[in-house]
């Protein structure tokens, strides 16, 4: 009997047909379902489909007299029995140099290895069982699965949903071979422009390069000042400084964590060229007010929309609200690739041309460089990945909204008791919920307690940018940014977070806060 904790079970044709034979509601079916609930992925090997189909045929012929089954074709029967099972691709390497007397057994072994070290192949076939690991018996399948750790984000659940489109898109690029600037790029740009409502979209190699290209497109030079928030990811100010510019920090609105428009005018000077608001955690900054100020002083507005693609502001979309906008397709962002990626957006055709030139070494025609640029193109394979993900993106945004509403309900008592502050989305906004970020006193203790309970959390961000060694400058401190850096805590947030898991996160947070309250804090103990 095998008791261990696999992450993946690959059913070979003999095991899968045993499942079909026993049907839904059987012991085997129940076991597999309970494993799937604990995030074990159950697979069948696509290379065994014809074997599975003939087994299903034979099964139905022998059961022809019994009711129920006969109404289905073997293919329908197979589809019904294996609902919830993922198809694992057969790859060229599975059969290459494979002179095993049971070539499929070796192919299954190779495919299981690809799934990782904790993958078993379940079989009812004695000769395969005799091979030992990774083959295990269908009868010996008793799995002690410890309560799993909550996932902070769950890209696996998303991948299960779009595996066919993803693999098809990636393989198409492998075959056509235009790995740089393939036709997938232009198609994706058109779709992203349409989704956001911006006139032009220019895909680039990361969110950071999107910011850099946008600043280059407006010709930021040494000594130029760009007004921005100090409470953001490092790249926002890093790109300004890389061009010799100076970030001038304006404090945040404590309710939304976004640039407080009321502080902007006082920061404008003769060297100010642009304002770069950050739409943090998925909610747009106050773009209308910011645009109005920028117009008065002839400044350019660049929205750092790395976290807010998909968000809306007064019914319009993030990335279509300013002269320029930049987003990121880093895997953990709401719309993430399987690697680095990003995009610039603009309403202005001549800025769009400049951005296209900048991302490709300033080329205007082959080997004719009329400007300095960067190697900032998005890979075609990432465009294929993003195209598959974009199809389910609206649905995922709705799911994130439901998760956020779930948290608001589950944690309302803690807010009423003054123990936490829930995120606030202004009535004219919808958030893309890149993060679900609360404020809490004793943040580090609470985070430690959550982690001990198997609940991951994160701090976005632990220090304002003016406290980063590489960016330290003599600018004034921003008290609200400093306070936010001490208090913020991001909870698990992704479209596939189910209610039971949310309840578990909420319970863990309640416990963490109760235990931190009962233990007097160090400073209180010293004073006493
Ligand atoms: C992620 C992020 C970036 C940088 O994007 P990359 O794709 O990682 O280069 C910039 N600004 C903000 C606010 C971000 O969250």
Tens of pLDDT, residue by residue over 296-319, are 999 999 999 999 999 999 999 999
Report the b/e string of 142-156 with b at 16+ CB within 10 A: ebebeeeebbbbbee
Show the tokens assigned to 91.
């790859």
| Position 132 pLDDT exceeds 90 | yes
User: Is 281:435 a contact under the CB 8 Å cutoff?
Assistant: yes
- Return d(Cα 367, Cα 519) in angstroms, integer: 68
Among 153, 204, 207, name the best residue to mutate to test ligand 1's pocket (greatest count of ligand atoms within 8 A of Cβ): 207
Q: Where are the alpha helices (DSSP H) in 297-430?
A: 349-358, 380-410, 412-416
Could you give the C-alpha distances from 78 to 20, 26, 338, 397, in angstroms and in order?
Answer: 7, 16, 32, 33
Tens of pLDDT, residue by residue over 165-179, are 999 999 999 999 999
Kindly give the distance from the C-alpha atom of residue 148 to the centroid of ligand 1, in angstroms, as a whole number: 30
Which residue's alpha carbon is at the smallest distance from atom 1 of ligand 1?
A: 306
C-beta of 309 in contact with ligand 1 (< 6 A): no
Q: Which pLDDT band holds residue 143 (cuts at 50, 70, 90)?
A: low
Tens of pLDDT, residue by residue over 416-463, are 999 999 999 999 999 999 999 999 999 999 999 999 999 999 999 999
CATH among 3.40.50.300, 3.40.50.10800, 3.30.420.40, 3.40.50.1010 for 8-147? 3.40.50.1010
Looking at residue 144, what is its pLDDT?
62
Tens of pLDDT, residue by residue over 350-365, are 999 999 999 999 999 8
User: Sheet harboring 86-88: ordered strands across?
Assistant: 86-88, 41-45, 8-11, 119-123, 135-137
Show the tokens assigned to 433.
């919920």
C-beta of 340 in contact with ligand 1 (< 6 A): yes
| Position 20 pLDDT exceeds 90 | no
In the chain, list all ranges with CATH 3.40.50.1010. 8-147
Tens of pLDDT, residue by residue over 43-57, are 999 999 999 999 988
Beta bridge partners of 247: 226
Q: How far apart are the first and last CA of the chain?
A: 58
Looking at residue 83, what is its pLDDT?
86
C-beta of 233 in contact with ligand 1 (< 6 A): yes
C-beta of 437 in contact with ligand 1 (< 6 A): no
C-beta of 501 in contact with ligand 1 (< 6 A): no
- Return d(Cα 320, Cα 295) in angstroms, integer: 16
User: Is 325:346 a contact under the CB 8 Å cutoff?
Assistant: yes
- Domain 159-390 fold is 3.40.640
Q: Please compute, for residue 526, the number of CA atoms within 13 A of its CA located in the half-sphere on the CB side.
A: 3
Q: Where are the alpha helices (DSSP H) in 232-379?
A: 235-242, 287-296, 349-358
Which residue's alpha carbon is at the smallest distance from atom 6 of ligand 1?
A: 207
User: Is 258:290 a contact under the CB 8 Å cutoff?
Assistant: no
Kindly give the distance from the C-alpha atom of residue 118 to the centroid of ligand 1, in angstroms, as a whole number: 33
Mean pLDDT, residues 188-192 taken together:
98
C-beta of 328 in contact with ligand 1 (< 6 A): yes
- The length of the chain in residues reads 528
Atom of ligand 1 nearest to the CA of 342: 7
In the chain, list all ranges with CATH 3.40.640.10. 159-390
| Position 347 pLDDT exceeds 80 | yes
Beta bridge partners of 436: 491
C-beta of 272 in contact with ligand 1 (< 6 A): no
CATH among 3.30.70.520, 3.40.50.620, 1.10.3720.10, 3.90.1150.10 for 393-522? 3.90.1150.10
What SS3 state is found at 197? Answer: coil
User: Is 47:81 a contact under the CB 8 Å cutoff?
Assistant: no
Tens of pLDDT, residue by residue over 469-483, are 999 876 678 999 999
Q: Which pLDDT band holds residue 95 (cuts at 50, 70, 90)?
A: very high
What SS3 state is found at 47? Answer: helix
C-beta of 278 in contact with ligand 1 (< 6 A): yes
- Return d(Cα 401, Cα 392) in angstroms, integer: 14
Kindly give the distance from the C-alpha atom of residue 427 to the centroid of ligand 1, in angstroms, as a whole number: 26
| Peptide linkage before 358 cis (omega within 30 of 0) | no
For the CA atoms of 342, 347, 353, 354, what is the dihedral angle to 10 degrees? -70
Q: Please compute, for residue 376, the number of CA atoms within 13 A of its CA located in the half-sphere on the CB side.
A: 30
Beta bridge partners of 489: 438
C-beta of 307 in contact with ligand 1 (< 6 A): yes
Looking at residue 525, what is its pLDDT?
40
Q: 64 or 242: whose pLDDT is higher?
A: 242
In the chain, list all ranges with CATH 3.90.1150.10. 393-522
Atom of ligand 1 nearest to the CA of 279: 13
Q: Which pLDDT band holds residue 74 (cuts at 50, 70, 90)?
A: confident
- Return d(Cα 229, Cα 118) in angstroms, integer: 44
Atom of ligand 1 nearest to the CA of 206: 7
C-beta of 306 in contact with ligand 1 (< 6 A): yes
What is the pairing mode between strands 300-304 and 436-440? unpaired
Which residue's alpha carbon is at the smallest distance from atom 14 of ligand 1?
A: 306
| Long-range contacts, stretch 190-196, CB < 8 angstroms, 24+ apart | 191/387, 191/390, 192/343, 192/345, 192/390, 193/345, 195/310, 195/317, 195/390, 195/393, 196/309, 196/317, 196/318, 196/319, 196/320, 196/325, 196/345
C-beta of 228 in contact with ligand 1 (< 6 A): no
Looking at residue 117, what is its pLDDT?
80
C-beta of 120 in contact with ligand 1 (< 6 A): no
Q: Is the dihedral of CA 440, 444, 449, 451 positive or negative?
A: positive
Tens of pLDDT, residue by residue over 393-421, are 999 999 999 999 999 999 999 999 999 99
C-beta of 206 in contact with ligand 1 (< 6 A): yes
| Position 1 pLDDT exceeds 60 | no
Nearest to 215 by CA among 233, 241, 189, 192: 241
């Amino acid at each position: 009997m095998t008791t261990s904790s696999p992450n993946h079970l690959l059913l070979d044709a003999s095991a899968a047909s045993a499942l079909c034979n026993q049907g839904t509601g059987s012991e085997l079916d129940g076991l597999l379902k309970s494993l799937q609930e604990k995030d074990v992925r159950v697979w069948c090997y696509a290379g065994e489909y014809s074997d599975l189909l003939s087994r299903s045929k034979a099964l139905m012929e022998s059961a022809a007299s019994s009711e129920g089954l006969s109404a289905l074709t073997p293919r329908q029967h197979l589809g019904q029995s294996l609902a919830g099972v993922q198809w694992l691709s057969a790859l060229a390497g599975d059969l290459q140099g494979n002179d095993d007397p049971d070539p499929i057994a070796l192919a299954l072994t190779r495919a299981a290895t690809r799934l990782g070290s904790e993958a078993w192949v379940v079989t009812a076939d004695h000769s395969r069982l005799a091979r030992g690991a990774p083959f295990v018996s269908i009868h010996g399948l008793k799995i002690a699965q410890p309560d799993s750790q909550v996932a902070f984000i769950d890209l696996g659940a998303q991948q299960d949903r779009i595996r066919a489109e993803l693999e098809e898109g990636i393989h198409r690029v492998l075959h056509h071979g235009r790995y740089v600037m393939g036709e997938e790029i232009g198609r994706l740009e058109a779709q992203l422009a349409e989704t956001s409502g911006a006139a032009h979209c220019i895909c680039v190699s990361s969110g950071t390069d999107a910011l850099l290209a946008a600043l280059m497109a407006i010709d930021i030079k040494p000594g130029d000042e760009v007004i921005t928030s100090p409470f953001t990811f490092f790249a926002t100010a890093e790109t300004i400084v890389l061009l010799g510019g100076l970030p001038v920090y304006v404090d945040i609105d404590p309710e939304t964590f976004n640039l407080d428009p009321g502080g902007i005018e006082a920061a404008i000077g003769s060297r100010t060229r642009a304002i770069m608001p950050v739409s943090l955690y998925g909610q747009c900054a106050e773009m209308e007010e910011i645009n109005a100020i920028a117009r008065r002083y002839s400044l350019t507005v660049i929205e750092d929309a790395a976290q807010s693609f998909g968000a809306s502001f007064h019914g319009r979309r993030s990335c279509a609200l300013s002269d320029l906008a930049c987003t990121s397709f880093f895997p953990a962002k709401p719309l993430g690739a399987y690697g680095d990626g990003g995009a610039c957006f603009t309403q202005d055709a001549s800025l769009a041309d400049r951005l296209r030139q900048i991302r490709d070494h300033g080329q205007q025609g082959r080997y004719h460089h009329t400007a300095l640029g960067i190697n900032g193109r998005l890979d075609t394979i990432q465009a294929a990945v993003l195209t598959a993900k974009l199809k389910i993106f609206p649905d995922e945004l709705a799911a994130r909204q439901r998760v956020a509403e779930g948290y608001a309900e589950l944690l309302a008592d803690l807010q009423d008791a003054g123990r936490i502050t829930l995120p606030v989305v202004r009535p004219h906004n919808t958030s893309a919920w890149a993060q679900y970020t609360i404020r809490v006193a004793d943040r580090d203790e609470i985070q430690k307690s959550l982690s001990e309970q198997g609940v991951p959390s994160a701090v976005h961000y632990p220090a304002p940018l003016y406290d980063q060694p590489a960016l330290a400058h003599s600018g004034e401190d921003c008290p609200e940014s400093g306070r936010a850096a001490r208090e913020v805590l991001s909870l698990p947030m992704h479209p596939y977070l189910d209610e039971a898991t949310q309840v578990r996160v909420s319970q863990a947070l309640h416990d963490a806060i109760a235990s931190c309250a009962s233990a007097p804090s160090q400073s209180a103990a010293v004073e006493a």
